Homo-oligomer: A and B are copies of this chain.
């Protein structure tokens, strides 16, 4: 297949005016050129000249299952947050196709660098969902072994992981390994200097990395227009590699495009940027109140493009799954939710002295000293003036 870029130089005469008023989402997005789509919002299968995909019914059902279970996991996490079991949750609601499609495009040897919202991608990498909950519960800052599933820790500082991904990809290339790297980031993150530097390094070293931008239209309260006045995928061309925009609510298109991009990288052609055009259906996190900055209509309009409903319509129309299949997924979902619920509730708090663990790999006399002093201090409560203990240290 061919990977196209959209490059444009130009003279002042060709400059593009800037929209000062925001129309509805539909109006803004209507007629977006170059959006790769293989399944319409109405669940109709369409073809694209550059991106083809041919999946077995089983594979199609697998994608459906992935998305449903991911959504169920996400919903359970929101509930657990409301119940006080988690301190915070960043929901992926609405972004299931972007995450499952791209995650399923990766091979085991590929390496994933997520933000803090890639629960669906983690699912495709066989990361135990409970691992994702530790930092949101506040028992650790991540804590899993990234090398177990080639899935790096969640990274909160916006954009910084794109550089780690690029460096990792440079290493992959050095090793001559048959693998690629994928770096997730958001529309907001596209403004960070680190992301631009990652583009530069990846291009200059021809690193096998796919930059996967989930443009979910919002960076907390800021619409994408606050980050860029042209579609984000176009940025790649200016750095010398191809960019493509895919319907991020179309799991087939995301899978096809990401596969092609990863293959592009793996085969020595260097980096590629994929912009998955999607929508954050929920709040930014559980502490956010999106009613302060966006309209119900916009949300409703995107609800009609729901990635799961879309695939289900297609499966039903084509008769690719029977009732037993859907029933089984319901059962699986309940089991997953139960496991997550119980797992979180039983997740142990770290011991106090964990504060001093893993600051250094090779140890530090300073940490040793502070640990010893603190241990002595704590033990003073056991032996002596217990009456003041417990009111906070």
Q: Is the CB of A50 within 8 A of B13?
A: yes
Q: How far is the CA of A263 from the CA of B240 in the complex (A)?
A: 29
Q: Pick the residue among B14, B193, B240, B261 that contacts A197 (CB under 8 A).
A: B193
Q: How far is the CA of A200 from the CA of B264 in the complex (A)?
A: 28
Determine if A76 is an interface residue (Cβ-Cβ < 8 Å). no
Q: Which of A53-61, A89-97, A229-237 contacts B (4 or more CB under 8 A)?
A: A229-237
Q: Is the CB of A229 within 8 A of B203?
A: yes
Q: How far is the CA of A234 from the CA of B7 in the complex (A)?
A: 7
Which residues of chain B have C-beta atoms less than 8 A from A225's C-beta? 204
Q: Is the CB of A12 within 8 A of B228?
A: no
- CB under 8 Å from chain B, chain A span 189-226: 191-197, 200, 203-204, 206, 225-226
Copies of this chain assembled into the complex: 2
Most chain-B CB neighbours within 10 Å: which of A17, A18, A196, A270? A196
- CB under 8 Å from chain B, chain A span 255-271: 260-261, 263-264, 269-270
Q: Pick the residue among B197, B228, B244 that contacts A9 (CB under 8 A).
A: B244
Q: Is the CB of B12 within 8 A of A261?
A: yes
Q: Is the CB of A238 within 8 A of B240?
A: no
Q: How far is the CA of A322 from the CA of B191 in the complex (A)?
A: 54
Q: Is the CB of A15 within 8 A of B233?
A: no
- CB under 8 Å from chain B, chain A span 33-66: 34, 50-51
Q: Is the CB of A264 within 8 A of B193?
A: no
Q: Pick the residue among B9, B12, B50, B264 that contacts A234 (CB under 8 A).
A: B9
- Residues on A facing B (Cβ under 8 Å): 7-18, 34, 50-51, 191-197, 200, 203-204, 206, 225-230, 233-245, 260-261, 263-264, 269-270, 272
List 4 other contacts, CB 8 Å, given A9-B234, A200-B227.
A16-B240, A193-B193, A204-B227, A230-B240
A/B interface sample: 26 pairs, CB < 8 A: A7-B230, A7-B237, A9-B233, A9-B242, A9-B243, A11-B50, A11-B244, A12-B260, A12-B269, A12-B272, A13-B50, A14-B242, A15-B272, A18-B206, A18-B270, A191-B197, A193-B193, A195-B196, A196-B197, A200-B227, A203-B228, A204-B226, A229-B239, A229-B240, A230-B240, A238-B239
